[in-house]
Each structure stands twice: as structure tokens, then as C-alpha cells.
Structure 1
Amino acid sequence: MDTDDGRDDVVRFHERLGLPGIIDVHTHFMPEQVLRKVWAYFDSAGPLTGMEWPIAYRHDEDERLALLRSFGVLRFTSMLYPHKAGMAAWLNGWAAGFAARVPDCLHTATFFPEEGAGKYVAEAVDAGARVFKSHVQVGAYDPNDPLLDPVWGLLAEAGIPVVTHCGSGPAPGRFTGPGPVGGLLARHPRLRLVVAHMGMPEYAEFLALAETYREVRLDTTMAFTDFTEELTPFPAAERGRLAALGDRILLGTDFPNIPYPYAHQLHALERLGLGDDWLRAVCHDNAKALFDC
């Protein structure tokens, strides 16, 4: 394993906080052929990124797993998502197998607005799915599509969190932004929606949704880092709201698809100056309570 991958830096971070490790709710594991296509998209600076985006942890699956464990990541996810109809059920089958052979991964599943979505989501729940991923930007779908009505209703009733890329960063989509998600939450106020990337760049608007709906949470994925602060900085005026919602902010990183060392995400949170109790909650306690893990 490459000694420059930052293991010691990550371990020092959580040991200083007195934590047994950290919980990362936004990591990507998916079928190898799909992941390679995702990496190729980043390499080509595709339209949803439009910039150079070197993958920091471009390793095979076993090495990526070993890295997370060496960092002290106690639980993580296999965020995967379809970009078209006909993919989700197949991805869910792969994710179920992955979770079965990687017990420290929270069993992840996904969906797309299509006929039968309610059925395969129910099957994934019955198979033990603990968290779902919805990628409104890549999927280019309205979260209020009637084909998803049975999906949202089932997940709200079951209390299963859904990590949702619904902000308009790094590039806006037809259905991104707080409006569509606000409409969804008005219909399903008990939905445990985790807004990925802190909702960047609409930080304030998504914080407002979390203030309105008790079950809304936000993950830190790529937020506050040097890379993101150059493009869509988090408003300093909103730090008080960030502190007040400290029980509903969850650590996410986007590992392995990040253009900087894993530890940088942790140090970016630390330099917000919101205190060690806030860091302990964000990096461990909130996810532990949400997933009972």
C-alpha cells in the first residue's frame, strides 16, 4: 500500500478526537466496468465537471477497501446510481453481493423513475438495504416524477435514508436545486433525505430545508475543501446555521473519486472552527445514530 495515501494523517485526526474511527456515508463502490466509465468521464473533463479532476485513489477494489480500513473508516457506503432506465435493478443486485462480502459496507441501493421501480426498491429493502442513492443531476430526472411515488412513500415509511445529489454543483441540471426537493419533502415530510455535498452551491437554501424538516440531513462531501472553495465557497455568514444543525451533518468524502488526499476533507472540517464536539458528531456519532451501527 502506498505510504503517501495519508493513513497516518487520518488516524491522528480521529485519535485526537477520542473516536474509535470515522463513518463515511458517501463513498463509491460499484461494478468495475461502471467505475472505469466514471473515471473515464472525470478524465475527459465531461460537461458535468468541465475541469481537470485527477482521481486520487485510482486503485483496484481490494486496495481501496484496505485503504479505508487503514484510515479507520468503520462503516462506509457503495454509492452507485443509474444514468438511464434499466440499470437500477442490476446495480442493486451487485450492491447486495458487495455488502454480503464486505460487512463493514452499509448495504446501498438505488433507483430510477421507471416502471417497476417500486417493486425492485421493495425487493432491495427486503434484502436488507440500509441506504439508497438518488442522483438527480446524472439521472436528469425530476424527483417528483409520478413513477417514483411508490419509492419515496416506501422509503419514508421505512425510515431508510436516501443520499441525494440534488444541488446544482458542479453544473446545474434541469431538476437540480432546492425547488424540486422542497416539493418532494412537502409531500413526504418524514423522508430521511441526506443532501449530498451540502447542496452546493445552494448551501443556504438546503440548510433552510433542514431547518424546516427534522429528518433532512446534509453530507459534507467535497464541501469546505480547497478544491471546492475556489469554485463555490461556503458562505461564512452561514457557519452559525451549520453549527446549529450539528446533529444532522454527516461526513461524506466521495472516496475514491476525489482530487486530493482523504485527510484534506477532515482538515477542511476542522478549520471551520466549530469545535471538537461538532467534529465528533459529524465524523462518527450522527451516522452511528442514524444507521444504528
Structure 2
Amino acid sequence: MSSTDPGDFAHLLGLPGLVDVHTHFMPQNVLDKVWAYFDSVGPLTGHAWPIEYREEEDRRVELLRGFGVLAFTAMLYPHKPGMGRWLNDWAAGFAARTPDCLHTATLFPEPGVREYVRDAIDAGARVFKVHLQVGGFDPNDPLLDDVWGVLADSLTPVVVHCGSGPAPGRFTGPDPVERLLARHPRLRLIVAHMGMPEYADFLGLAERYEGVHLDTTMAFTDFSERLAPFPEAERKRLLDLGERILLGSDFPNIPYPYGHQLDALARLDLGDDWLRGVCHGNAARLFGLPLPPHSQGIHR
């Protein structure tokens, strides 16, 4: 498995660095449970899932900066009622002490969710994470209807784990998301993991709804190609939707070096302009980050 140096990757493309919209930071007791899940996931997927970057929080931030990541997120998510506001309070503190983190928040269908989502936005949250698989809830739950309206009106992007990988949940797959978008077509949804394994269906949603984006998290890597290969026939759609595909990595919870995600994108052979957009420009526009002057990368 090859693994390029991430800083070199950005430099060769003429970029000041990378923007990674799918990285995880959360309270350590919650992260420990997430890591325990991945430690035990081998029987579920048929493949061991060693955590490549099982480090202390400060070291993980230092590693991302060393990879040339200019902006990243703190994806966190509740699995039961009563966690959402607490996680958002933690994330606000993390963003305050980590200026290159895009202030991240989350939600769960429960009484009071509209209020704490509104509070998070007022406190500066720039992106939300929703995990339909872990949370086990329908995005069309009536408790969330006003919440989606608030997020749509505020143009706040929402990263949604809605694909059925690595294992299907009660409300994963494209149908619940399509019903949601039919009611809230202005939502800025970022489909995590390219919608793995329902890639074609989620590409279709992006074609029909201009607010739908997809992140590359773990897609196209050797690990995921063994579990849920991306269909060769869909590759042209990646190029056609190039402005709405964003770099995501799942750092630190990945079973390979960070640079392998970048190698996997480069070997798609969709061109330097596509890579520049995916690795920096598209997310920079979505989140209002500084855009570098155009420069020619080395042709790959």
C-alpha cells in the first residue's frame, strides 16, 4: 500500500494545504468507546480495523497540521437522547482552543433539539454531523422537521453518515435522505463516505439537489475497495460533480496512513483541477475559507 506525503501532495498541486471535512475529535471517554467498536468490528466486516492514529488529542491535532491540513472538523455524534447538547458544549470548547477546526456540532431527535441546534449555530457552529447508523434514527423524525428548516435557512452544512456501510442500519440508504430532501430541498448535505456502498444512488441525489455534496472519506482506498468497490461505470459522474466532492479522511479512525486516502484520489486519474477542488477549493468555497490564487500543479 503506497502512502504519499500529504504535505508534498498539496505542494505539487499548487495548494497551500488541505481542507479535510471529516475528521473526528470528541470527549476522550466517547472516543474510547468508538475505538473499542472498531477494535471489535473485524467479525462484522471480515477485515481487522486497526486504528492508525490512536494518540492523545494534542498529538492528533499536531499530526493533522503536519500533514498540511489547514482546516478540519470535530465530527462527533450522540447515540442516545441527552448527549447532543453536552457534545456541542464540548465541541465549542475544542473549537475555541483549536482555531483551525471548523466549529462542529451534532443533534439527535429529542425534545429540545431545535433549541440546542439554534444555540450551537448562534455560538458559531459551521458544520453539523448526523450519524443515522449509530444514532439509529430516521432523518424524517417529526422531532427534527423544524431543525432541518433551521439548518437550511442558515445554510449550515451537515455531514450525514447515511450510506449502509460498514453495516446497514434501520434508516441507512438513499430513501430516507431522498424523502428528507423532498421536504427540505435547500439543505446543504454532505454525504459521508460517498454514500458507500450505495454510491450511484447518492451521486444521483447530488445531481438532482444542488445542495448535496459528497465526502471522499475512506472511499477508493484499498481497504474500502475490498469491502465495497466503487463502480468503474460511475467514474465520469465524479468528474461531472467535481465541484461538490470534498476531501474527507475519517482521521484518526483509519486503518492505514493518512496519505493513502490522497493516493487513492490521485489514482482515479481525474486530473489536477479535480484534485485541487476536492482537496481544497470546494470546501473553501462552501465554508468561506480563503481561496489561493490559481496555480498550476504538476500533472499526475
SS at match of 2:205: helix
Other-structure match for 1:171: 167
Within 5 Å, give how 1:25-40 maps onto structure 2: 25-40=21-36
Structure 2: state its 5+ residue gaps. 290-300
Range that drifts further, 43-52 or 152-161: 43-52
Mark the CA change 1:260 to 1:7 in structure 2 (over 3 Å): closer, same or farther.
closer
Structure 1 residues 8 and 241, CA, compared in 2 at 3 Å: closer, same or farther? closer
C-alpha RMSD over aligned residues: 1.3
Q: Does 1:152 align with 2:148?
A: yes
CA distance in 1, matches of 2:228, 2:268: 16
1:243 to 239, 242, 253: 239
Contact 1:81 1:111 in 2 (8 A): yes
Secondary structure at 2:5 match in 1: helix
Provide the C-alpha distance between the structure 1 equivalents of 2:271 and 2:144, rounded to a whole number of angstroms.
40
Match for residue 193 of structure 1?
A: 189
Amino acid at match of 2:133: Q
Higher relative contact order (CA 8 A, sep 6+): 2
Please state how far the C-alpha of 1:11 moved relative to its aligned partner. 1.0
TM-score by length of 2: 0.94
Letter in 2 for 1:103: P
Match of 1:3 in 2: none
Moved more, 227-236 or 40-49: 40-49
CA contact under 8 A between 2:4 and 2:263: conserved in structure 1?
A: no
Residue of structure 1 aligned with 2:125, choices 116, 124, 129: 129
Equivalent in 261, 264, 267 of residue 265 of structure 1: 261
Label 1:54 to 1:103 Cα distance change in 2 as closer, same or farther (>3 A): same
Contact 1:136 1:142 in 2 (8 A): yes
* Structure 1: runs of 5+ lacking an equivalent: 1-5
- Normalising by the residue count of structure 1, what TM-score does the alignment of the two structures yield? 0.96
Would the aligned equivalents of 1:198 and 1:218 in 2 still touch at CA under 8 Å?
yes
Q: Structure 1 residue runs of 4+, over 6 Å off?
A: none
Tell me the CA shift for residue 51 of structure 1. 3.8
Q: For 1:28 and 1:9, locate their aligned partners in 2 and report how far apart those are by CA, in whole Å.
A: 21
Which of 66, 70, 77 is the equivalent residue of 2:73?
77
Look up the match of 1:276.
272
**Aligned residue identity for 2:55:** H
Q: Which amino acid aligns with 1:39?
A: W
Residues 109 and 124 of structure 1 are in contact (CA less than 8 Å); yes or no, is this contact kept in structure 2? yes
- 1: CA distance, partners of 2:272 / 2:141: 41
Q: Deviations over 1:230-281 (max 9, x none)?
A: 1100000000011000000000000000000000000000000000000000
> Who is 1:93 aligned against?
89
- 2:179 is matched with which residue? 183
Q: How far has the Cα of 1:102 moved from its partner?
A: 0.3
- 1:44 offset after TM fit, Å? 1.8
Bigger mean CA offset, 43-52 vs 260-269: 43-52
Letter in 1 for 2:69: V
Aligned length in residues = 288
Deviation readout 1:4-23 (Å, 9 max, x if unpaired): xx997111111100000000
